[in-house]
A and B are shown apart, each in its own frame.
Chain A
Amino acid sequence: MSVKTCLVVDDSRMIRRVASRILKDLKFETKEAENGQDAIERCRLEMPDAILLDWNMPVMDGLDFLKELRKEPSGRKPVVVFCTAERDVLKITEALDAGADEYVMKPFDSDIIESKFFQAGLI
């Protein structure tokens, strides 16, 4: 069975590192992007199986990225798990309506990431 890939999108280098380490423990191969624009370009080159996505980022935020991603003609639809400090129910609903599969509220730990990836059918 091939190793699943996950793109970690966050403008914080520290968050990308922590999330990547958790995902590697869950047997994912990880790549990183620091904003939505960087992420969409990476997806056009190679679509990952999953994307762990921050909301508030410079250049292109997570929500705009997700809307762009869902318009992509590629046949592969990666599972998108938002991972953000936004906790407002209206914001969460907006993310789900835009096509997010799951939603993690920061701060997170490895149990939460594992649980959310399990619910999203990635584990």
Chain B
Amino acid sequence: MRGALSLNPTYYEALKRLTLELAGVTLGSDHAFLVETRLSSLSRKEGFETLDEMIEELFNTGQSRLAVKVVSSLLERDTHFYTDRTSFDKVENIILPALYPIHKGGKIRIVSFGCSSGQEVYCLAMALDKAKDKFPNITIEIIGVDYPSSALDRAKAGRYTHFEAQRGLPIRDLITYFDRQAEDWVVKDHIRDSVRFEETHLLSNLDSLGQFDIVVFRNALPHYSSPAQVRVLRGLSTLIKPLGYLLLGTGETLNHINYGYDTLARDPNVFRKREEKVQIIEDPNIKKPSNRKTFEKTKRRLKDMGDMHQTKSA
């Protein structure tokens, strides 16, 4: 049995509210024991003597930069190579064959949201490298997107520990696409050069990313609160070109909301955007995303939380 959480319960509740507000994600009971380990490490990196000191600084000053780091650290996902291999097979065997005749001679743009430490992005790049003879005369651009975090920094470096490299990655892929450097394995240049990573919040304005032919968003949706799920899915639908695809994780659905997709009968988690523009019915209670407003609101909220905590402590 796990030990009791020693973090001040008021702090934990405040962190839960902060994460919900900033990222739309509800921290479950399984996160409680991650909070201390992850935030203790972050507090050391940020130069604080103790975790409590960092949290007090966060709630007393309402620093957006620190708030984003705390939330990113809490939401960092432990990802493996080829988590649910069938998804990569779907990209190669269903989605690309459908898109190839449309884009032959041009470019197909793929984005992986919530890419964490980059394994999914590199798996896509490796899978497409192996299939390149099936899809000649086409450029494929792959972008990984996530919150700014140490995981995303690792993704950009393409460097994985001995243990990370062996979790999910077949040995033939490891020796074909990675070089051993001391105890680590580093993605070879031609694969690393075929991908890039962007720091963007899923609930912020995503227009700057441009439009994509394939959006991969797997195994993250259930962590979002219901209103945030609607915002995320609506945001993603605006990024997908007509006849482009959204690939969710196994068992994940659009929750009966019509975002302008057709479902592929044999693959319930693959959605194809319709050719015609579809008017998405807006929920008046859900505001459109804006980076500036989100952070300003969070700052005020953090300040309130700090005041509240000080009042309780007094």
Main SS at interface, chain B: helix
- Interface size classification for chain A: 10 to 19
What's the A-B contact tally at a CB cutoff of 8 Å? 31
Complex Cα distance, B138 from A30, in Å, reads 49
Complex Cα distance, B80 from A102, in Å, reads 17
Q: Give A37-51 as 1s and 0s: 1 = Cβ < 8 Å from B's Cβ atoms.
A: 000000000000000
Q: Which residues on B sit within 8 Å (CB–CB) of A64?
A: none
A112 nearest CB neighbor, chain B only: B166
Complex Cα distance, B170 from A18, in Å, reads 22
- Asked whether B175 lies within 8 Å of A119 as measured between CB atoms, the reply is no
Chain B residues 149-188 with CB under 8 Å of chain A are 162-163, 166-168, 170-172, 175, 180
A89 nearest CB neighbor, chain B only: B175
- Asked whether A112 lies within 8 Å of B163 as measured between CB atoms, the reply is yes
A113 nearest CB neighbor, chain B only: B166
Judge if A31 is at the interface, Cβ distance under 8 Å: no
Contact of B172 among A87, A96, A104, A111 (CB under 8 A): A96
* Residue of B166, B168, B175 with most chain A CB atoms under a 10 A cut-off: B166
Complex Cα distance, B175 from A96, in Å, reads 11
Chain B residues 203-261 with CB under 8 Å of chain A are none
B176 nearest CB neighbor, chain A only: A89
Q: Which residues on A sit within 8 Å (CB–CB) of B167?
A: 111-112, 115
Complex Cα distance, B170 from A96, in Å, reads 12
Judge if A109 is at the interface, Cβ distance under 8 Å: yes
Q: Which residues on A sit within 8 Å (CB–CB) of B162?
A: 105, 107
- Asked whether B170 lies within 8 Å of A102 as measured between CB atoms, the reply is yes
Judge if A103 is at the interface, Cβ distance under 8 Å: yes
Judge if A60 is at the interface, Cβ distance under 8 Å: no
- Asked whether A103 lies within 8 Å of B171 as measured between CB atoms, the reply is yes
Q: Give A67-96 as 1s and 0s: 1 = Cβ < 8 Å from B's Cβ atoms.
A: 000000000000000000001010011001
Contact of A116 among B166, B172, B180 (CB under 8 A): B166
- Asked whether A93 lies within 8 Å of B175 as measured between CB atoms, the reply is yes
Q: Which residues on B sit within 8 Å (CB–CB) of A112?
A: 163, 166-167
Contact of B170 among A107, A108, A119 (CB under 8 A): A119
A102 nearest CB neighbor, chain B only: B171
Q: Which residues on A sit within 8 Å (CB–CB) of B170?
A: 102, 119
Least CB distance, A12 to chain B, in whole angstroms: 19
Contact status of A87 and B180, CB under 8 A, knowing A93-B175, A105-B162: yes
Q: Which residues on B sit within 8 Å (CB–CB) of A111?
A: 80, 163, 167
Complex Cα distance, B166 from A92, in Å, reads 13
- Asked whether B163 lies within 8 Å of A96 as measured between CB atoms, the reply is no
* Residue of A92, A107, A115 with most chain B CB atoms under a 10 A cut-off: A115
Interface residues of B, Cβ cutoff 8 Å to A: 80, 162-163, 166-168, 170-172, 175, 180
Given A89-B175, A115-B167; 14 other pairs, CB 8 A cutoff = A87-B180, A96-B172, A102-B171, A103-B171, A105-B162, A107-B162, A108-B166, A111-B163, A112-B163, A115-B166, A116-B166, A116-B171, A119-B168, A119-B170
* Top 8 closest pairs, chain A to chain B, by CB: A103-B171, A112-B166, A119-B170, A89-B175, A115-B167, A115-B168, A111-B167, A92-B175
11 residue pairs of the A-B complex, CB under 8 angstroms, read A87-B180, A89-B180, A93-B175, A102-B171, A103-B171, A105-B166, A112-B163, A115-B80, A115-B167, A115-B168, A116-B166
